[in-house]
Structure 1
């Protein structure tokens, strides 16, 4: 895209958009903002106020809400939703003030979706999660020619639109900068797992499969559920299976280059799996549960698969994955999942919603 745009990038404020990333959504917003700025676009990041100061930040909240209202899936703090409504209610007017050429929405707060439809201003909403009851209907009712949606996999598209995918929803695979995940042809003698330490990411299955396969394992990631860790993982840690905490991207990249393979163990309908392509870029074959979009993203040439939550089958997949030549996963990433490919697709969609919204914008200026 030759035109340089003013872009409002709206992130979810649960965590700061800063390293070390707590999850894939934070990494996506961070690298998208950097990538758009590298192409000359002017990006304002609507996010938690304690996000990386290199960006121009318009805070949705002064600090990320997980600091004061730690999220627990079973019992969310009842004070949280009124807080988010108040702050998103204020932010929506700044986001859709007309000061931006396009809004790229990485949040799922209903106020942003509804304001996009109400104003008719150009907006692209990226859906990073499977549908859930509180928001599914709002997304369905607000997408239109000026408010398009993207999903991260064909599998996710079918989940969001089981009755038929509308023309306003497009698959845009997540992408990474391969230079940040250098390839290594040498293989270590241990496996690696990385992600949020919580049951639906399945690190307990990775631990048990590694034990059955007779291979060492290093686990990295943000401690989201301490009780789960203490019960399901800590009792099995020893010299061969270790939890290494949270590290930044450069350090994780180095650890990946030292490993023999990566374990990907989603226990939910994982829409993509950003960490899997980071591992693949580093040259790691994948042993994975065949859950969500895992097979679509990893491909048979870069990984081996086991039925969801089948630990014995995953142990077999570990042994088989170690025979995969390391250039195959790297090649899959450079062909399909680069940051440049992702931003090319977003820029194309920006152009489409801007063109669709131009009559609305012309009327607003005339008024």
Structure 2
């Protein structure tokens, strides 16, 4: 089976720091290669893979503002489509735009939908619903207007997430700094529970950061470490008493949630979106409704077993589990079965 993986070009694959879509595409690519598959990754030229790398974009457009994103995206996608005949299947991680090529090529396409940025994009998915295959990353993120071949949870490599049973005395907010993710709420939870809070992540909303987060940073009880490279992020996740995940939207998935659990770190998350599918309430953390509930659960965090968190993450969110499920989906598509 010859597989083409179409990654995003906002960041490199895998990303140097932030880049969840690119990280997932990389994990799938490398996982398939480990199983002996013939895989070509279409990504930025600075991307890294053990397979073949094809690039039409030299640097990620988020790293070089001289690059026009629309132009780069058109060149990137068309580069794959012009070579589509060389592959048995195309695995699209680049949202809805590649779907518009699907009727022009003979190679079947499977698309992992990494969430819907807006209801306005759903008509594109609906147009190609019958001819291509869609994978949801959680049951919570499925649109009632679309059909799906499977739900496949993201997977990460247990070997690169070090388990830590003994935790340090801090709580962690680990994610993009945006109102949706709730860094300001994490600050309130930490203060009310009398715990130190470390914040790490890409600032996506500068006004929000300036008004709701920065005023509380004192480099003592609340500190912001910036957008960290992966190794530093993993150490923070492993050492934390708990990851605070007070999301303010229906989150399709949460990579930091499974990364924390893989390190043996419990998660306290607002019960929205996919969180109920990722966290075993009372076993790997707590699903809460509000700040008061979260503060109470911080006081109970020592009741959560780090060993159980790790075991749960390995069972449900390993690269091997993810890749096996995608191989099953590929075979369905190649057999002409585009729906579950």
TM-score computed with the length of structure 1 as normaliser: 0.84
Native 8 Å contact 1:24 1:275 kept in 2: no
1:22 paired with 2:8, answer no
Q: Choose the corresponding residue for 2:124, options 114, 138, 141.
A: 138
The answer to whether structure 1 residue 306 and structure 2 residue 288 are counterparts is yes
Match of 1:170 in 2: 150
- 1:61 corresponds in structure 2 to 57
CA distance in 1, matches of 2:39, 2:94: 16
Q: Which of the numbers 252, 269, 273 marks the counterpart of 1:288? A: 269
- Counterpart CA distance in 1 for 2:327 and 2:130 is 18
Pick the aligned partner of 1:10 from 3, 6, 13.
6
Q: Distance in 2 between matches of 1:290 and 1:60?
A: 41
Shift in Å, 1:230: 2.0
| 1:156 equivalent in structure 2 | 141
Contact map agreement 2:182 2:246 (CA 8 A) in 1: yes
Show CA shifts across 1:248-299 (max 9, x none).
Answer: 3233222222211111122221011011001001111111111111122112
Q: CA separation of 1:250/1:86 partners in 2, compared to 1, >3 Å: closer, same or farther?
A: closer
**Distance in 1 between residues matched to 2:50 and 2:331, nearest whole Å:** 26
Judge conservation of contact 1:304–1:320 (CA < 8 Å) in 2: no
1:212 aligns with 2:192: yes
Q: How far apart are residue 133 of structure 1 and its match?
A: 3.0
Alignment correspondent of 2:226 = 245
Aligned equivalent of 2:329:
349
* Alpha-carbon offset, residue 153 of structure 1: 0.9
Are 2:86 and 1:105 equivalent residues in the alignment? no
RMSD (Å), alpha carbons: 2.3
C-alpha displacement of 1:131: 5.9
Query: How many residues end up aligned between the 2 structures?
Result: 335
Gaps of 5+ in 2: none
Give the one of 222, 225, 229 matched to 2:209: 229
* Cα distance in structure 2, aligned partners of 1:296 and 1:343: 19
CA distance in 2, matches of 1:244, 1:336: 30
1:87 corresponds in structure 2 to: 75
Q: Tell me, which stretches of 5 or more residues in structure 1 are unaligned?
A: 71-76, 358-367
2:110 alignment counterpart:
124
The answer to whether 1:255 aligns with 2:236 is yes
Change (3 A) 1:55 1:69: farther
Equivalent of 1:192 in 160, 165, 172: 172
Cα distance 1:219–1:89, how it changes in 2: closer, same or farther (>3 A)?
closer
- 8 A contact 2:2–2:38 mirrored in 1: yes
* Cα distance in 1 between the residues matched to 2:17 and 2:115: 17
Q: Does 1:202 align with 2:198?
A: no
Residue range with higher mean Cα deviation, 200-209 or 224-233: 224-233
Runs of 4+ in 1 over 4 A off after TM superposition: none
For residues 77-121 of structure 1, the C-alpha deviation after alignment (integer angstroms, 9 at most, x for no partner) is 9x644x25632563253352x1012111000142x1122244342
Mapped contact 1:288–1:304 kept (Cα < 8 A) = yes
